[in-house]
């Protein structure tokens, strides 16, 4: 694909294959998959890639992304991953079939909005089993579920948890078994079915594949493993998936031989950091039209093995291209594979063009 730079190229066919592979793996363990679209800002190319893959629902943390999903006419249920703020209640009921919640105040507001809209809204009540992000503390769960069950217009679909995000706590037999136990306590206390137990995200896949995931866990929210083909516990390649699914493309706007060490007295850079430089002598340095406004340079890996990312200012990415495998000149496109964080940044940057690409174009 040729186009403006900087840009983010999405290889939809490869993401499609990744999604099918992970859905099949999860299905073998009785788990349905909510495909998380947020890292690509619910781009239409991603939504098309997820068609006909067997996913059970589309999930995102931002209402504007759920609106984009709605505009495609998708028939899949939608899940809001972040509890809505008070000004987003009506839009949540309009755009999400289900939302993750931990506050009875918020669920009460959702109940009122659902009644006004003449509809019903599903909730999965989140419980914190150790990662210390969102979730009711376990000893409050039964009370919260019992109260939510009385709210008109609300269907309490089940409970869930999140791991390996804020605290980095890994999914384990112990914390997943605890989640099942808490569901059973809430079920016994309320008489609700609480059929969904949403055990977590891509980080749960290794436990699932080991065969040690409790069989009652029947729902996962999977994003990075589908889109980047990564085991999120160590960023290794996930079995059955490809990792060459997205590329960040920039363009060389200056090409000069320069010393490796700045000349003169140095202090803080534009971002308040003291940068350490390695003296490699005089090198051929490319300045590309991509900056920290768009992505942290440490989140980019050059596809050309002869390129070295040296750093970036807000608007300029500096790359050592002395040992470039391919010829370089002004206007040459330089390609990178982003980390999850790098993909999130470039996908949400208004200055980075996004679009589908074909393998042949790459």
Q: In whole angstroms, what is the distance from residue 280 CA to residue 169 CA?
A: 40
Considering the candidates 7, 14, 20, 38, report the single residue annotated as catalytic: 38
Torsion of CA 198, 63, 56, 148, to 10 degrees: 40
Nearest to 258 by CA among 312, 318, 315, 314: 318
Query: Does a cis peptide bond (omega within 30 degrees of 0) precede residue 6?
Result: yes
Find the radius of gyration of the CA atoms of the chain: 23
> Tell me, what DSSP letter sits at residue 238?
P
Query: For residues 175-197, b (16+ Cβ closer than 10 Å) or e, as one string?
Result: bbbbbbebbeebbeebebebebb
Nearest to 296 by CA among 356, 336, 246, 241: 336
The bridge status of strand 283-288 relative to strand 300-302 is unpaired
Q: In whole angstroms, what is the distance from residue 294 CA to residue 6 CA?
A: 9
Nearest to 22 by CA among 199, 159, 202: 202
Query: For residues 342-360, b (16+ Cβ closer than 10 Å) or e, as one string?
Result: bbbbbbbbeebebebbeee
**At which residue do the structure tokens 């790459």 appear?**
362
DSSP-H helix ranges across the chain: 12-27, 44-49, 63-71, 89-95, 104-117, 141-148, 173-190, 205-210, 224-227, 340-348
Query: For 43, what's the count of Cα atoms within 13 Å in the CB-facing half-sphere?
Result: 26
Task: Give catalytic status of residue 354 as yes or no.
Answer: no
Catalytic residue annotation: 38
């Amino acid at each position: 694909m040729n186009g403006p730079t900087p840009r983010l190229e999405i290889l939809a066919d490869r993401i499609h294959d990744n999604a099918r592979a992970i859905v099949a793996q999860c299905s073998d363990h009785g788990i349905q998959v909510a495909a998380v679209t947020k890292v690509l800002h619910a781009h239409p190319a991603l939504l098309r890639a997820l068609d006909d893959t067997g996913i059970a629902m589309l999930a995102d943390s931002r209402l504007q992304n759920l609106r984009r999903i709605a505009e495609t006419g998708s028939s899949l249920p939608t899940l809001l991953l972040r509890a809505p703020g008070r000004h987003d209640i009506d839009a949540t009921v309009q755009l999400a079939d289900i939302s993750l919640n931990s506050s009875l105040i918020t669920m009460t507001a959702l109940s009122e909005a659902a009644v006004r809209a003449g509809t019903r809204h599903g909730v999965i009540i989140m419980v914190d089993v150790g990662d210390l992000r969102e979730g009711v503390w376990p000893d409050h769960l039964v009370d919260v579920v019992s109260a939510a069950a009385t709210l008109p217009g609300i269907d309490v679909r089940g409970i869930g948890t999140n791991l390996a995000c804020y605290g980095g706590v890994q999914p384990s037999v112990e914390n997943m078994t605890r989640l099942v136990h808490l569901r059973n306590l809430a079920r016994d206390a309320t008489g609700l079915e609480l059929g969904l137990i949403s055990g977590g995200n891509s980080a749960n896949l290794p436990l699932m594949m080991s065969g040690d995931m409790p069989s009652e866990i029947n729902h996962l929210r999977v994003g990075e493993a589908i889109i980047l083909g990564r085991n999120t516990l160590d960023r290794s390649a996930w079995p059955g998936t490809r990792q060459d699914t997205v590329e960040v493309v920039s363009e060389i706007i200056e090409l000069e031989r320069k010393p490796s060490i700045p000349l003169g007295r140095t202090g803080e850079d534009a971002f308040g950091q003291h940068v350490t430089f390695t003296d490699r002598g005089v090198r051929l340095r490319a300045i590309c039209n991509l900056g920290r406004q768009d992505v942290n340079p440490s989140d980019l890996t050059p596809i050309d093995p002869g390129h070295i990312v040296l750093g970036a200012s807000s608007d300029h990415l500096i790359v050592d291209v002395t040992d470039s495998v391919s010829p370089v000149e002004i206007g040459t496109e330089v390609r990178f594979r982003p980390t999850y964080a790098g993909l999130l940044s470039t996908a949400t940057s208004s200055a980075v063009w996004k679009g589908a690409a074909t393998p042949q174009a790459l």
